[in-house]
């Protein structure tokens, strides 16, 4: 599973990344988590509003900071 956090690095984006990592840790997922900071890449990924979370290329969250519990449900926990 490949998870991408998309955002320019603002505090909300950093919080999303931390929550994604915590959710993966709690679910014991061996996911590859990365953060896309380059705003030129956002449209290529289909992202119009940040922060966003993509799972295997599909946008699952956009424009909000999901909680760890919300992320766990999205990631299959």
| pLDDT tens digit sequence for 36-76 | 999 999 999 999 999 999 999 999 999 999 999 999 999 98
58-62: strand order across its sheet = 32-36, 2-6, 52-55, 58-62
Q: Is 10 a catalytic residue?
A: yes
Read off the pLDDT of each residue in 16-27 and give the average, rounded to a whole number.
98
- Interval 16-31 mean pLDDT: 96
Question: From the candidates 1, 2, 9, 10, which is the catalytic residue?
Answer: 10
Q: Which domains are seen in the chain, by residue range?
A: 2-74 (3.40.30.10)
Residue the block writes with tokens 């997922």? 29
Please say if the pLDDT value at position 77 is more than 80. no
Residue 13: active-site member:
yes
What is d(CA 13, CA 41) in angstroms, rounded to the nearest whole number? Answer: 15
Q: What is the mean pLDDT of residues 9-34?
A: 96
Q: Which one, of 73, 62, 48, 43, lies nearest residue 5 by Cα?
A: 62
Whole-model pTM over 0.75: yes
- Provide the 8-state DSSP code for 49: S
């Amino acid at each position: 599973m490949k998870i991408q956090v998309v955002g320019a690095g603002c505090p909300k984006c950093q919080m999303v990344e931390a929550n994604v990592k915590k959710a993966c840790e709690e679910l014991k997922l061996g996911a590859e988590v990365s953060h896309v900071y380059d705003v030129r890449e956002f449209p290529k990924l289909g992202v119009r509003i940040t922060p966003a979370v993509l799972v295997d290329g599909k946008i699952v969250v956009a424009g909000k900071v999901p909680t760890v519990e919300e992320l766990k449900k999205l990631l299959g926990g």
